[in-house]
Amino acid sequence: MKKRLLLLVAVTILMSACLTVTNMPPTLVPTIAINNSETTDGLSKNATAEPVSLAQETAVPIATLPPTNTLAPSPSATATEEPTSTHRSTPIWTATATLTPTAAIEPTATYWPTVTRQLLPEAISAGLPPCQTRVVDTELLAMVTQQFFLPETYVPPDLVPLSDYFDDSITLGQDLYARQAIIDPLQTIIEAMHEAGLRPSIISAYRSYSEQALAWKWWSGQYPGRVAILSARPGYSEHQLGTTIDFGSPAIDNLFHVDFANTVEGVWLTNNAHLYGFTLSYPANTYGITGIKYEPWHFRYVGVNLATQLFNSGQLLTSWQLENLSPPCIP
């Protein structure tokens, strides 16, 4: 009888305990303040190392916790949840861009020559050949602009090697050519510069269509967004005429550089080249007319009379040609 009574008491106590557990609130997580440098790994370790009694802590049920690290997706991004290990208390979210970022590039069109093109009346254009097949005369004033270009087949008939007239201190050991028609004035201007105590060099002269194509390709590879203002396209270079000289100065290691204008050789040429028949083809701030950037080293032989007229008036060779010469071809 006593055994049955004890058993009944034990069962009653056990049922009461079960009922108490059943009515307990859900599992609680301690509310812990952490800074942005802390990780969920640290939080897990703290919770494990120092368990807190449920009777003593102030906690918020998991079901009612406000979301942590909530990412509001933008129109250009969607939120994706990375798989996380079981010890993390909150998910980690990453933004995945759905739009391809636009790289900052040089707008090529901005740098392309924007010279005003000459509109040819039908009565004039009817009798002209296309520029690809134009016949280039041997006169010194043949027109070469960003509109009227030379055919690939054009080669001046009287090219001579400059090494026959100048030593390596002038040609820098390069295999350079120019038209025979400009050799005398070229020798004269070099001699005048020597007499003035200067040390000029010739860093470029005649350049064939194919050589200009290689130059264009090189500049295009170096500066694809600016090649049109750094180099003339093949057929559009005055160098193909054989009457244009690029001068150099030892002060800048005989390089193509706008600082040539500030060397003693550059200053002398600016003030005196016209006396020997040479004119600066591409002065500063004339890009809108010539389509070529400032080249203080680039001088073309046009004869003393015209070179002096251009120097005194300040007119560009390109402008003078468009005003005084007939269109040579249909561009």
What is the per-residue pLDDT across 174-209, written as a single tens digit (0 to 9) for each?
A: 999 999 999 999 999 999 999 999 999 999 999 999
Determine the Cα–Cα distance for residues 64 and 103; give it in Å rounded to an integer. 45
Within 23-91, residue ranges assigned H as helices are 40-49
pLDDT at 250 over 80: yes
Contact 140, 305 (CB under 8 A): no
Q: How far apart are CA 244 and CA 256, in angstroms?
A: 15
Of residues 19 and 154, more confidence is placed in: 154
- Percentage, residues of the chain above pLDDT 90: 55
Please give the Cα distance from 226 to 246 (Å, whole number): 21
* Per-residue pLDDT, 8: 60
CB 204 within 8 A of CB 246: yes
CA distances 79 to 45, 88, 90, 97, 329, Å, are: 28, 18, 15, 9, 63
pLDDT of residue 55: 36
Q: Cα–Cα distances in Å, from 66 out to 30, 38, 70, 90?
A: 14, 19, 9, 11
Identify the pLDDT of residue 231: 86
Three-state secondary-structure class, residue 49: helix
What is the dihedral angle through the alpha carbons of 45, 48, 50, 53, rounded to the nearest 10 degrees?
140
Indicate if the pLDDT at residue 23 is higher than 60.
no
Checking if the pLDDT of 82 tops 80, the result is: no
Which residues does 69 contact at the CB level (< 8 Å), separation at least 6? 90, 91, 92, 93
Question: Which structural domains are found in the chain, ordered by start?
Answer: 121-324 (3.30.1380.10)
CA angle 264, 268, 274 (to 5 degrees): 160
User: Residue 226: which residues within 8 A CB-CB, separation 6 or more?
Assistant: 106, 111
Return d(Cα 150, Cα 35) in angstroms, integer. 72
Task: Please compute the mean of the pLDDT values over residues 280-301 and round it to a whole number.
Answer: 94
Residue corresponding to tokens 């979301």 = 67
**To which residue do tokens 């007119």 refer?**
315
Q: What is the pTM of this model?
A: 0.66
pLDDT digits (tens, 9 = 90+) for 126-149: 889 999 999 998 889 999 999 999
String of DSSP letters for 189-205: HHHHHHHTT---EEEE-
> pLDDT band at 305, cuts 50/70/90?
very high
